[in-house]
């Protein structure tokens, strides 16, 4: 049975949910391909092993190699949601002190922001000035780069549950939100509004993605500066 993977981005951290077995050979090829695609630009990786029920010695060696590659790129690989069998494997092999493990993906993501990624990280890679939340990946990419080029530390999320995870892990100064998520009606939306009640929120215009890119950037930056000055 081939290893299955589901990836999502939480801020600058990529969470990869694994299912099946991590073993030597072609069965684990998807994990190698996914991490190769992420590195070196996205070296902060959480492997969710909650649905992994078997790891052989070759698979454990693969995890060690992936961790080494991520650290060489200035990041790290953290593990989360390990089943008791996998925990026992790490104990028996005395590798529990090598891997940074956490009970959940939320705690693993929070650890990246708390630790600054790794000792080799550049100090601004996981900076947390602004949290941008919008459902469009294209808009998210645009916001991330425009704000970073202006010198801001930026986190992004395309959904409210992951945005909540980032809020709990960090302390952004400003929230930038799309109108559809700002006005969403859900438990996550209510929790998000409660947690950001004392933070300045810049709501994007409904036609933001269709505006001239240069003019939209200038207006966005003006609103962000104004929001920071109000603090």
Which carries the bigger pLDDT value, residue 76 or residue 25?
A: 76
Query: What is the model's pLDDT at position 137?
Result: 87
Residue 37 has pLDDT above 70, yes or no: yes
Residue 228 bridge partners (DSSP): none
Residue 102 has pLDDT above 90, yes or no: yes
Asked whether the beta carbons of 177 and 133 are under 8 A apart, the reply is yes
Query: What is the model's pLDDT at position 40?
Result: 87
Query: What is the model's pLDDT at position 123?
Result: 44
141-151 confidence digits (pLDDT tens) = 899 888 988 88
Query: What is the model's pLDDT at position 87?
Result: 92
Q: Locate 72 and state its tokens.
A: 């060489």
Averaged pLDDT for residues 208-223 = 88
pLDDT confidence bin for 215, thresholds 50/70/90 = confident
Averaged pLDDT for residues 41-51 = 96
Whole-model pTM: value is 0.82
Residue 93 has pLDDT above 90, yes or no: no
Residue 192 has pLDDT above 70, yes or no: yes
Cα separation, 86 vs 55, whole angstroms: 7
Cα separation, 11 vs 42, whole angstroms: 11
CATH number of the domain at 4-115, please? 3.30.750.24
Report the mean per-residue pLDDT for the chain.
90
Q: Which residues contact 54 (CB under 8 A, 6 or more apart)?
A: 21, 22, 23, 85
Query: What is the model's pLDDT at position 117?
Result: 57
Averaged pLDDT for residues 196-223 = 90
Listed range (9-13, 98-102, 125-129) with the worst mean pLDDT: 125-129
Lookup result for tokens 């705690």: 107
Query: What is the model's pLDDT at position 124?
Result: 56
Map out the domains of the chain as residue ranges. 4-115, 130-229
Query: What is the model's pLDDT at position 127?
Result: 67
Domain 130-229 -> CATH class: alpha beta
**Whole-Å CA distances, 22 to 15, 104, 166:** 17, 19, 29
Query: What is the model's pLDDT at position 160?
Result: 96
């Amino acid at each position: 049975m081939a290893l299955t993977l589901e990836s999502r981005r939480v801020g600058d951290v990529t969470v990869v949910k694994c299912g099946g077995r991590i073993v030597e050979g072609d069965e684990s090829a998807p994990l190698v391909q996914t991490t190769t695609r992420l590195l070196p630009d996205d070296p902060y990786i959480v492997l969710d092993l909650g649905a992994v029920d078997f790891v052989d010695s070759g698979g454990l060696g693969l995890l060690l190699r992936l961790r080494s590659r991520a650290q060489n790129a200035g990041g790290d690989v953290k593990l989360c949601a390990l089943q008791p069998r996998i925990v026992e494997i790490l104990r028996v092999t005395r590798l529990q002190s090598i891997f940074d493990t956490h009970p959940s993906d939320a705690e693993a993501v929070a650890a990246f922001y708390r630790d600054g990624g790794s000792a080799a990280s550049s100090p601004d890679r996981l900076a947390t000035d602004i949290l941008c939340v919008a459902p469009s990946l294209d808009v998210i990419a645009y916001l991330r780069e425009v704000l970073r080029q202006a010198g801001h530390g930026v986190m992004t999320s395309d959904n409210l549950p992951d945005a909540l995870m980032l809020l709990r892990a960090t302390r952004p100064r400003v929230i930038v939100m799309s109108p559809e998520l700002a006005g969403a009606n859900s438990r996550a939306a209510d929790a998000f509004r409660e947690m950001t009640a004392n933070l300045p929120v810049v709501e994007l215009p409904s036609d933001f993605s269709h505006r001239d890119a240069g003019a939209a950037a200038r207006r966005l930056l003006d609103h962000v500066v104004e929001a920071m000055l109000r603090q």
